Amino acid sequence: TPYLVTVGETLAALSASQPGPLSLGADLRLGLAGAESNVAVGVSRLGGRAVWIGRVSEDALGDLILRELRAEGVTALAVRDPAPTSLLLKERRTAGHHRTRYYRTRTAGAGLTPQDIPEDVVAGAAVLHLTGITPALGDGPAKAVTRAVDIAADAGATISLDINFRSLLWSEEEARNALLPLLRRCDLVFAGVHEARLAVPGTDDPGELARGIRDLGPSGAVIKLGAEGAFALLDGQPHRQPAIPVRVHDSVGAGDAFAAGYLAELLAGEPPEQRLRTAALLGAFAVSTAGDWEGLPRRSELALLDHHDDN
């Protein structure tokens, strides 16, 4: 069966269970975050095979990451690293306002090197999925991503990139310089409007952004428009995908969910319309539930939001 490989950093997420200022103390829930592992879990829940490659700490948090990913059916190929796991601290300042902060310097995930990328595993993948977060973690992770792309390109795998710009990790200028050479080698790019503008400056128009990305090399460009859905240009064909209307609980993880839905259907050999429909459904599950990936559906659960409105 065809499988997806992704390379990145999984973080420990500490989330306040009740709204209110963290400065007063709080009950915190310990879970996982990380764009690449979010995608791997999303694909796995839909019945696809997913492999996650990364470094994890040698302590309980590293064990937690591996145990949780494996429980979700993801093949986790991890090098253990003496450095600590990155933390993501999530404050719920009010019911509707989340604030996050990274504790993300000199951590295990950022210790990734090109030697950590198993050539046979990447060469055998149908899809290599990357995000713009991994190259932002440092020189080692950036080189590891390039190594994975070299292997996948030689093997003829579909190379997918979610730009996932993180202003807490680098500037727009740094991101553009690092991600443009990567983007040119990809087959499929996912981006929000602001993210797409890093590659295609001077317009907010989804069609122009998608064509601009296509002109850089990728045959597929998916511009995510939040509550307005998505616009995709796939092998020259335009597609419009409306969002599934749901009550927004926590929008973090929506982009990863969308990519997971799309890529799971790509692995399953489904046509563009179904890839985009499932992508929108997974995005809706992610925003209407707490956590970045916990609320993602199994295939049998897609019908819960299909043709329904839970408002």
Q: Which amino acid is at 67?
A: R
Shorter beta-carbon distance to ligand CKP: residue 36 or 116: 36
Q: What minimum distance in Å lies between the beta carbon of 6 and ligand CKP? A: 11
DSSP state of 91: E
| Residue 84 binding result from ligand CKP, Mg ion, none, given CB thresholds of 5 to 8 Å by partner type | none
Q: Is 256 a catalytic residue?
A: yes
- Where do contacts with ligand CKP occur on this chain (CB under 6 A)? 11, 33-35, 38, 88, 133, 164, 166, 252-256, 292
Ordered strands of the 87-94 beta sheet: 28-33, 11-16, 87-94, 97-103
Which of residues 255, 261, 291, 297 is near Mg ion by CB under 5 A? 255
> CA 284, CA 292: separation in Å to the nearest integer?
12
Contact assessment for residue 224 and residue 196, using Cβ atoms and an 8 Å cutoff: no
For the residues of 208-249, what is the DSSP string, one character each? HHHHHHHHHS-SEEEEE-GGG-EEEEETTEEEEEPPPP---S
| Residue 54 binding result from ligand CKP, Mg ion, none, given CB thresholds of 5 to 8 Å by partner type | none
Catalytic residue among 116, 250, 256, 292: 256
Q: What minimum distance in Å lies between the beta carbon of 195 and Mg ion? A: 7
Considering only residues 155 to 214 of the shown chain, the ones binding Mg ion according to CB under 5 A are: 164
| Residue 195 binding result from Mg ion, ligand CKP, none, given CB thresholds of 5 to 8 Å by partner type | none
Shorter beta-carbon distance to ligand CKP: residue 152 or 257: 257
Q: Which amino acid is at 172?
A: E
Count of alpha carbons within 13 Å of 59, Cβ hemisphere only?
Answer: 9
Count residues binding Mg ion (CB under 5 A). Answer: 2
Report CA-CA distances (Å) from 15 to 31, 32, 275: 8, 10, 31
| Residue 254 binding result from ligand CKP, Mg ion, none, given CB thresholds of 5 to 8 Å by partner type | ligand CKP
Q: What minimum distance in Å lies between the beta carbon of 149 and ligand CKP? A: 19
Q: What minimum distance in Å lies between the beta carbon of 215 and Mg ion? A: 23
Who's near 195: CB < 8 A, 6+ residues apart?
132, 163, 164, 165
Residue positions annotated with a catalytic role: 256
